[in-house]
Amino acid sequence: MKRFNYKAKEKETGKVVKGSIQAENERIAGKLLVEQGYIPDTISEEGIGLLGGKGHVTTKDRIMFTRQMATLIGAGLPLASSLRTVAEQTQTKAMKSVVEEILTSVESGKSLFDAFSQFPDVFNGVYLALIKAGEMSGTLDMALKRLADQEEKDAAMMSKIRGALVYPGIILVVIIGVLAFMMIMVVPQVRGLYEDMGKDLPGLTKFLVDISNFFAQFWWLVLIIVVAIIIGCWYAVKKTRLGRKVADTFKLHVPIFGGLFRKLYVSRFARTAEMMLATGVPMLDSVRIAIDATSNTVVEEEYSKSIEVIKGGKALSEAIRDREYMLPLVPQMASIGEESGKIDEMLGKAAQVYETELDEQINNISTMIEPVLMVIMAGLIGVVIGGTLLPIYSLVNSIG
C-alpha cells in the first residue's frame, strides 16, 4: 500500500484538515476520504526522505501517545475521535504516521488490537496483550493508563542505568587520553634523548617506544580493526541469536552490574505479570508475556521452563521457585497471593521492592566503581611513567 498526503474539508463544518491516508492508489484514497466525511481538495503520494522511511518512534513518543489515548478514552470520546485528536496533536512525523495508519484501520472496521498489531516494532507483546484484554473487558482506558505508567517506569529506570554508566565512561576516556598523550608526546622524546647520548633503552622504555612506533605507523590499521570489532560486535548482538545470548549471559555475570541486571529482569517479570493478571489475561498467557518482557534470552530460556510446570497443574509460585536467576521474594509473594486471591497485587509488591533496591543500587554505582577505575588508571599511568621519567632520572644520575 502507498501513503498519500491530503488536504480536505469536513462535509458538515467546512473545516479544512490535512493528513495522510494509506491506500492502493490516489483514486481509492479519495474514495476513502469521502466515506470518512471529507471533501478532498488535493491528494498527493507521500515521498520518501533522504534516508528512506519516516524515522524512528521513540519510547517518549509512545508514552505520550498512550497517555493521551488513555485520557481521551477515559473522558468518553469515541475511539476514532480519540485517535484523530492524538494524530493532530502529535508533532513527531514517525509517530504521527503510525497513529494515522491505526486510525485508517479502525475506521475500516478493524479492532484496535488488529490495528496496533501492524506495528510490532513499535508496540511489543505486552502492549498488544493489554490492548486486547482492555478491548474485551471494556477497560481500554485503564489498560492504556497501566501501559503508560509502566513504560514511564521502565524508561526512568533505563535512563538511571545509562546515567550511572556516564561517570565510568568519562573516566575511561580520560585514561585513554592521558595514555595517548604520553605515548605520542613523551615517549618519543625519551627515545631521542637516549639516542643522542648513545645509550641503550631500558626494557620497559623500549617496549613503550615499540608500541608508540607501531601506532604512529599503523594508526589507520588500528582504526580499521577497532571499527570492524565494534561493527562486528554490534551485528552479532543485534542480528544473531548466539551473539545476543553471549551478551545477555555477560550482563548476568559481569561484576558489580550482574546483580543489578538480575533485579531489573525479575522486577520486569513481576510487574508485567501483575499488569496482565490485573487486566484479566489468563495465567499462562500472562506468564509467557512476562517472560518475553524481561528482554534477556538467557533469562527467557530459564523462566520458560515454568510454563510446562503450570500446564501440569502446579501453581505459579511453585513453577518459578527453583528457576535460576529468579530472586526468592517473587515466588514467596506469589504464594501469599495465591492463598489470598490477590496474586497480581502481591507480584506488584515484589516488583516494587526490587525497583526500590535498583534505585538505591544505581545511585551507589558510581561510588562502587570509582575505586576500581582509580586503581586501573594509576596502574596504567604508572607503567608509562616508569618507562619514561625513571630512565630520565637514571640518565641524570649517570651524568652526575
Condensed to tens digits (0 to 9), the pLDDT of residues 109-138 reads: 888 888 888 888 888 877 888 888 888 777
- 130 touches 289 (CB < 8 A): no
pLDDT digits 0-9 by tens, 345-356: 999 899 989 988
Which segments of the chain are extended strands (E)? Answer: 2-10, 16-23, 38-45
- 106 touches 28 (CB < 8 A): no
Residue 224 has a pLDDT of 94
State how far the Cα of 348 lies from the Cα of 342, in Å rounded to an integer: 10
Question: Predicted confidence band at 52 (pLDDT cuts at 50, 70, 90)?
Answer: very low
pLDDT above 90: residue 333: yes
- 329 touches 335 (CB < 8 A): no
Query: Rounded mean pLDDT of the chain?
Result: 82
Question: Predicted confidence band at 397 (pLDDT cuts at 50, 70, 90)?
Answer: low
pLDDT above 90: residue 336: yes
Residue at grid coordinates 493528513: 19
Mean pLDDT score, 325-346: 91
pLDDT above 60: residue 361: yes
pLDDT above 50: residue 84: yes
Quickly count: other Cβ atoms within 10 Å of residue 325's Cβ: 17
pLDDT > 90 in the chain, percent: 12
Can you identify the CATH homologous superfamily of domain 165-400? Type II secretion system (T2SS), domain F (1.20.81.30)
Q: Which of 110, 62, 105, 58 is nearest to 86 (CA)?
A: 62
Q: Which of 138, 96, 142, 136 is nearest to 119 (CA)?
A: 96
Domains of the chain, by residue range, sit at 1-47, 165-400
Could you tell me which residues come within 8 angstroms of residue 66 by beta carbon, excluding any fewer than 6 positions away? Answer: 144, 147, 148, 151
Tell which phi-psi region holds residue 48, choosing left (phi > 0), alpha (psi between -120 and 50) or beta.
beta
Question: Predicted confidence band at 48 (pLDDT cuts at 50, 70, 90)?
Answer: very low
Residue 40 forms beta bridges with which residues?
Answer: 8
| N- to C-terminal Cα separation, the chain | 86
